[in-house]
Amino acid sequence: MKISKIRKELLEFVFKVASSNHPKEFSAALRAKGEVIEEVLFLPGTLSSHGSSTLQLHMLPIDPSVCGTVHSHPGEDPFPSAADINFFGKFGKIHIIVAHPYNLESWKAFSYGGEEIKLEVVE
C-alpha cells in the first residue's frame, strides 16, 4: 500500500525531539499502519552529533510496517544531502527531514531516491 499521510501528533512529537536534541541531529525509524505513518521507533545504538546521526539498521525489528526514517537538520534546510540520499537508498520508502525551527513549515518527505513526496497531515 502507498503511504500518503502522517499523523499531526507524530510530527509534533518529532519536532519536540529535534528541538530537544538541537544543535545535534537525531534519527529514528518510522512505522505505518495502512497508508498513515503513525509511530517513531528509536533504535538502540543510534549515534548523534552536530553534523550527522547514524541509525544501526541491524537493530530494526523484523516488521513490514517499518516504512522509513526521520532525521533532523539543525540548520534551516530540510533537503537531503548526498549522504542522506545514499542512506535513503538502503532502507525504506519514506524519509522525513525536519529542519530548524522544527515546525509544520520546516519539514519535507522524500522517496528512497531523494525525490520530494507530499504527505497529507491528518489528525
Backbone angles phi, psi at 55, to 5 degrees: -85, 145
Examine the pLDDT at 111 and tell me if it is beyond 90.
yes
Examine the pLDDT at 1 and tell me if it is beyond 90.
no
Tell me which CATH code domain 5-47+64-122 carries: 3.40.140.10
Examine the pLDDT at 52 and tell me if it is beyond 80.
no
Q: CA gyration radius for the chain?
A: 13
DSSP line for 58-80: GGS-S-TTEEEEEEEESSS--SP
Domain boundary assignment for the chain: 5-47+64-122
Q: What is the mean pLDDT of residues 52-59?
A: 79
For residue 51, the model assigns a pLDDT of: 77
CB burial of residue 49 (10 Å; 0-12, 13-18, 19+): exposed
